[in-house]
């Protein structure tokens, strides 16, 4: 059974002190579960101090962004190479970076490659705007984002990565419309089948697909239970330790009940 991932994207919130206060609370509140991987993506300046305070049996760290060159005269940038010993994951192609920092399909592709080259796992974000959705272009947009970003990777590299579907219209800061889980399942299914066509069944089956967009403790289970959903990328509510711990617990309960169902199915087949 695949490990579910619940990742908290803190975005540009919490200074070093505030981040440290939240981490202390999360260390106390989150119970480690083998079936659920919990990832925190604080701001860049908080990564180092948080890495020292974090209970590494419970959490893994992610950076929110990095530059695709390994080193050089790129004032203000931080490379994937520099993050190698600090984080497991790097969020790549978040819609806020595509929109506010003009990241193109090609920039995102170069960042995915830089992550893989530096043995970091990208959490690739894809998703359409409200206008694209209204024009029935969701499938085309998401397909283009996925195929461009994964170009030149091996099936094994794709199999190990994480892709988050975050429809822009559902992200709290871009309007935060509440999405219907059935609609989300259709796009997750499309992403999986697109990977199947390009990289084969094994990669399609193993790649972890997350959903993100205004998830809270009340709505999380509806998305996490979708057949193609392997976790969540949580924004605003990851800053609230009650909400975030509750989302992690929801994931754990779902994983446990699915495991029980599978066990029962196996016993029925054996009898
Ligand atoms: P919200 O959960 O605040 O909508 O943010 C989602 C997101 O962008 C996570 O990366």
| CATH code, domain carrying 120 | 3.20.20.70
Exposed, middle or buried by CB within 10 Å (0-12, 13-18, 19+), for 235? buried
Distances (CA, A) of 32 to 133, 175, 196: 38, 33, 32
pLDDT of residue 261: 77
The catalytic site residues sit at 94, 166
Task: Among 94, 125, 172, name the best residue to mutate to test ligand 1's pocket (greatest count of ligand atoms within 8 A of Cβ).
Answer: 172
Give 10-residue mean pLDDT values along the chain (271 residues): 95 98 96 94 98 96 98 98 97 97 98 98 98 97 98 96 97 92 98 97 98 97 98 98 97 89 65 58
Q: Give the pLDDT of residue 21.
A: 97
Report the number of distinct structural domains present in the chain: 1
Task: State the pTM of this model.
Answer: 0.95
Per-residue model confidence (pLDDT) at position 271: 58
Query: Which protein residue's CA is at the shortest distance from atom 2 of ligand 1?
Result: 235
User: What's the gap in Å between 131 CA and the centre of ligand 1?
Assistant: 19
Cα distances (Å, whole numbers) of residue 212 to 2, 205, 252, 260: 19, 20, 18, 27
CA 200 to ligand 1 centroid distance, Å: 30
Query: How close is the Cα of 235 to the center of ligand 1, in Å?
Result: 3
**Which residue has the CA at smallest separation from atom 1 of ligand 1?**
235
Is residue 42 classed exposed, middle or buried when 0-12, 13-18 and 19+ CB atoms within 10 A define those classes?
buried
| Residue 43 CA from chain centroid, whole number | 16
Domain that holds residue 157: 4-270
User: What pLDDT score does 246 carry?
Assistant: 97
Mutation probe of ligand 1 site: the residue of 235, 237, 244 with most atoms within 8 A of C-beta = 235
> Which of 194, 212, 230 has the alpha carbon at shortest distance from 8?
212
37 beta partners = 5
Question: What was the pLDDT predicted at 258?
Answer: 83
Residue of 214, 246, 247 to mutate, ligand 1, most atoms within 8 A of C-beta: 214
Q: How far apart are CA 64 and CA 97, in angstroms?
A: 10
Which atom of ligand 1 has the smallest separation from the CA of 214?
A: 4
Specify the ligand 1 atom closest to the Cα of 171: 4
Give the binding-site residues of ligand 1, using a 6 Å CB cut-off: 9, 94, 166, 171-172, 176, 212-215, 233-237
Residue nearest to atom 9 of ligand 1 (CA): 235
């Amino acid at each position: 059974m695949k490990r579910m991932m619940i990742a908290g994207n803190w975005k540009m919130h919490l200074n070093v002190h505030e981040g440290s206060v939240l981490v202390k609370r999360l260390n106390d509140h989150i119970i480690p579960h083998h079936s659920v991987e919990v990832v925190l993506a604080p701001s860049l300046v908080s990564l180092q101090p948080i890495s020292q305070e974090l209970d590494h049996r419970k959490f893994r760290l992610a950076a929110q962004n990095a530059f695709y060159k390994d080193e050089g005269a790129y004032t203000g940038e931080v490379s994937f190479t520099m993050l190698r010993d600090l984080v497991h994951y790097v969020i790549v192609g978040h819609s806020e970076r595509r929109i506010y920092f003009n990241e193109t399909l090609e920039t995102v592709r170069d960042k995915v490659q830089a992550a893989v080259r530096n043995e970091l796992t990208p959490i690739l974000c894809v998703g359409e705007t409200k206008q694209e959705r209204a024009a029935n272009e969701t499938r085309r947009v998401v397909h283009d984002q996925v195929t461009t970003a994964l170009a030149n990777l091996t099936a094994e590299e794709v199999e190990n990565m994480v892709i988050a579907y975050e429809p822009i219209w559902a992200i709290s800061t871009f309007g935060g419309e509440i999405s219907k889980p059935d609609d989300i399942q259709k796009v997750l299914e499309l992403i999986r089948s697109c990977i199947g066509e390009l990289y084969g069944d094994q990669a399609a089956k193993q790649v972890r697909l997350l959903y993100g967009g205004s998830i809270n403790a009340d709505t999380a289970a509806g998305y996490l239970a979708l057949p193609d959903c392997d976790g969540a990328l949580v924004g605003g509510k990851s800053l609230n330790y009650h909400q975030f711990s509750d989302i992690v617990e929801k994931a754990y309960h779902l994983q446990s009940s699915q495991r029980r169902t599978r066990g029962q199915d196996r016993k029925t087949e054996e009898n």
